[in-house]
Chain A
Amino acid sequence: MSNTERNAEGIAKYCAGMEDKLVEYLDGRAKPAGRRAVEEHLAACSGCRNRAEEFRNLWAALEDLPVVSPSPAFDASLRARIAAEPARRGFWSWLPSPRLAFAVTALVAMSVWVASIPRVTINESPMTGVQVEADFSMIRDLPVLENYDVLSKFDALSELPAPPNGVATEEGTKEIR
């Protein structure tokens, strides 16, 4: 049987209500009312009485735990560690060094300067119906505009017989344009 099993079995033998009272009673720190209540219970319960006795014996056995002493070098070593502590920093010591302060100031000034340069603003106002119509026309005429150079340099057009009057030619040219 393992210790845990023995332990679990042991606890089952005793009153659960004594768990938070017995230790306090045995070490003499229980208040008078609590002490009387435990004493009355122990008088009536042999299981808890045995447990109390075993705890007293255990505490006597625990006295045999060896007491160790700090090594002779303990104090000297501690003093050395205290001496190695950095000096406490006052309020002024938290201020940055001149070089760092200059760098930060320059960075801030440059940021302000960059932010103050006027930017090209894009008119983001909502498009009106007329604008939409104009854009749509332009897209529609795009193939004609793309072919404008070809049409203007097309030699076959120059060999065409002259129109009966200059007005018609001009109108035709205008139409192409």
Chain B
Amino acid sequence: MARTDVQLMLDVKAGDEQSFELLLRKYRTPLVNFLYRMVRDSAVAEDLAQEVFLRVYRARKEYAPSAKFTTWMFRIATNLALNSVRDNRHRQMEISMDHAVDAGDDEHPAMEVPDRTPSVEQQLVARNRSEMILRAVHALPDKQRAAVLLHKYQELDYDEIARILECSESALKSLLFRAYETLRAELAPLVNSVRV
């Protein structure tokens, strides 16, 4: 019978390093994806994901299962991502005051899109589509972006997301509605093409 995340973490607390490996294997990809979509920089996302695991490992002795493991882990990840975005925004603001930097998309090249389409043209269309979605998601306000990523891609429960973002469930639902409303407007060509 598979152990739950909380049980794995309690085993890590008891000194079982193998359980930490299992948690790492289970969550490294979701974490890296979540962080990449938050910060839009693959190197920073990996660094932050490692930092999350490091903090989980450091806190193992004090771990108390008061909430779901994912709530705890994504709360750490969200805080790290928001701080990173804030720091990066501050850095970019400082740079832009000195130099008129053209912040084009080439500065943040998208990560490799899996090659599932045979033709180059289809691949380009898929890449543009992905890039458009990523840009729209990244343009959301920080808290809305985190809410959408945790809701749509991590499929966390509302109470978990509300705890991570430190707001009420009702406020979270309104936040999500506004975020999806913005995305609907930004991605209208894609939404309409799906509709047709």
**Interface residue B86 (Cβ < 8 Å from any Cβ of A):** no
Q: Could you tell me the distance in whole angstroms from the C-beta of A66 to the nearest C-beta in chain B?
A: 5
Chain B residues with CB under 8 A of A153: none
Determine whether the beta carbon of A19 is less than 8 Å from that of B130.
no
Determine whether the beta carbon of A6 is less than 8 Å from that of B61.
no
Chain A residues with CB under 8 A of B184: 10, 54-55, 58
> What does DSSP make chain A's interface, helix, strand, loop or mixed?
helix
Residue interface mask B109-138, A partner, CB < 8 A = 1: 011111000000000001001100110010
- Contact A78 B194, CB 8 Å, known A20-B173, A22-B177: no
**Interface residue A152 (Cβ < 8 Å from any Cβ of B):** no
Give Cα distance in the complex from A77 to B186, angstroms.
38
**Interface residue B151 (Cβ < 8 Å from any Cβ of A):** yes
**Interface residue A74 (Cβ < 8 Å from any Cβ of B):** yes
Contact among B57, B58, B180 for A23, CB-based, below 8 A: B180
Give Cα distance in the complex from A70 to B45, angstroms.
9
Closest to A88 in B: B61
**Interface residue A57 (Cβ < 8 Å from any Cβ of B):** yes
Determine whether the beta carbon of A85 is less than 8 Å from that of B195.
no
**Interface residue B24 (Cβ < 8 Å from any Cβ of A):** yes
- Contact A19 B174, CB 8 Å, known A3-B186, A10-B184, A66-B134: yes
**Interface residue A160 (Cβ < 8 Å from any Cβ of B):** no
Chain A residues with CB under 8 A of B57: 82, 85
Q: Could you tell me the distance in whole angstroms from the C-beta of A144 to the nearest C-beta in chain B?
A: 79
- Contact A62 B152, CB 8 Å, known A19-B177, A78-B24, A81-B50: yes
Determine whether the beta carbon of B46 is less than 8 Å from that of A66.
no
Closest to A60 in B: B194
Chain B residues with CB under 8 A of A128: none
Determine whether the beta carbon of B50 is less than 8 Å from that of A65.
no
- Give the interface residue-count category, chain B: 35 or more
**Interface residue B190 (Cβ < 8 Å from any Cβ of A):** yes
Closest to B171 in A: A20
**Interface residue A21 (Cβ < 8 Å from any Cβ of B):** yes
**Interface residue B183 (Cβ < 8 Å from any Cβ of A):** yes
Chain B residues with CB under 8 A of A18: 177
Q: Could you tell me the distance in whole angstroms from the C-beta of B70 to the nearest C-beta in chain A?
A: 16
Residues of chain A from 13 to 43 with CB closer than 8 A to chain B in the complex: 18-24, 27, 29
Determine whether the beta carbon of B177 is less than 8 Å from that of A3.
no
- Contact A62 B133, CB 8 Å, known A19-B177, A20-B173, A27-B151: yes
Contact among A27, A75, A81, A88 for B54, CB-based, below 8 A: A81
Contact among A7, A53, A88 for B185, CB-based, below 8 A: A7
Q: Could you tell me the distance in whole angstroms from the C-beta of B129 to the nearest C-beta in chain A?
A: 6
Closest to B152 in A: A62
Chain A residues with CB under 8 A of B194: 57, 60-61
**Would you list 14 pairs from A and B whose C-beta atoms are within 8 A, ordered by A residue?**
A19-B177, A20-B173, A20-B177, A24-B158, A58-B184, A58-B191, A62-B133, A64-B190, A65-B137, A66-B113, A66-B130, A68-B33, A74-B28, A75-B28
The 9 closest A-B pairs by CB, nearest first: A20-B173, A57-B194, A61-B190, A68-B111, A7-B185, A19-B177, A57-B191, A66-B113, A66-B130
